[in-house]
Amino acid sequence: MIDQLKRACAIAKKDIRIYYMKGPVVIFGILFPVFLFLAFVIGRDLTVDFLIAGLLSMTIFFTSMSITPVIAPTETQTRSLERLAAAPVSITTILLGDMLASVLFGIGISLVPIMVGMAIGVTVEHPFILAAGIVLAAFCFSAMGLIFSSTPTSMTSTVMMISTMVKFPLVFISGIFIPVGELPLWGQVLALASPLTYITDLCRYSFQGTNYYSILVDATALMIFFVIFMTVAIKLHGRSLPKRL
């Protein structure tokens, strides 16, 4: 167990060094959520803490999913995946390493909107809950990104297109621009199926002191989604790995 964890950390270190500032990571992980957020908040009379909470949840969502989808396709193209497959590491260990790199990237970039908010006078009323929520969400979304990377292709553009088709609708049903309580009934039902809903709710509570669900519901939902995403990712990668070699 300890040896596999060390190998996973080594894989994460390799991923950070190679993929940290790749084009897809910068565009889909940083620039895309920022411009999308600005496009929908400019001209709207919203409070600053509401905006910062929404921006933070979007940042975690996009940055935590920016690295994991591109690693497997890139390594398939460069044939470096063959060396990993021949090494004494399991698929779970490889995926764990990829996920750790994405988690660290997501947590690191998520500090930016927090610092911006504090600089303009926004107060974090529940910092420990916010920190725990960010970590949980980073693991959850990173595991979700692993599912997209299970597609047996060497084209990162194909994987990013598929992931964008899923991520984009989730943004609009997760309470980022319109609180979940103000959505129509069908929107509130759809929001339950989005993990982004629960980190947005935690961010709202951390900055504004109010939330739609309870803290326990939000944290439990994120953990359940993480387990589901990781389980599915391991099974899908187990099936697709022979097709990549």
For position 43, what pLDDT does the model report? Answer: 67
Task: State the pLDDT at residue 152.
Answer: 74
Q: pTM score, two decimals?
A: 0.87
Measured between alpha carbons, how far is residue 215 from residues 72, 94, 106 in Å? 35, 32, 21
Of 198, 152, 148, 193, the closest CA to residue 169 belongs to 193
Main-chain dihedrals φ then ψ at residue 156, nearest 5 degrees: -65, -30
Q: Is 229 exposed, middle or buried (0-12, 13-18, 19+ CB in 10 A)?
A: buried
Specify whether the CB–CB gap between 159 and 148 falls below 8 A. yes
Can you say whether residue 43 is alpha, beta or left, with left for phi > 0 and alpha for psi between -120 and 50 degrees? left
pLDDT in the model for residue 212:
83
**Residue 33: per-residue pLDDT:** 73
- Predicted confidence at residue 209, as pLDDT, reads 85
What is residue 25's predicted lDDT score, i.e. its pLDDT? 64
What's residue 244's pLDDT?
A: 66
- Which pLDDT score is estimated for 221? 95
Residues 95 and 142: beta-carbon distance below 8 Å: no
Low-confidence ranges of the chain (pLDDT < 70): 21-30, 40, 43, 81-82, 84-87, 154, 157, 243-245
Distance CA 18, CA 80 (A): 12
DSSP state of 13: H
* Burial of 16: CB neighbours in 10 Å, binned 0-12, 13-18, 19+: middle
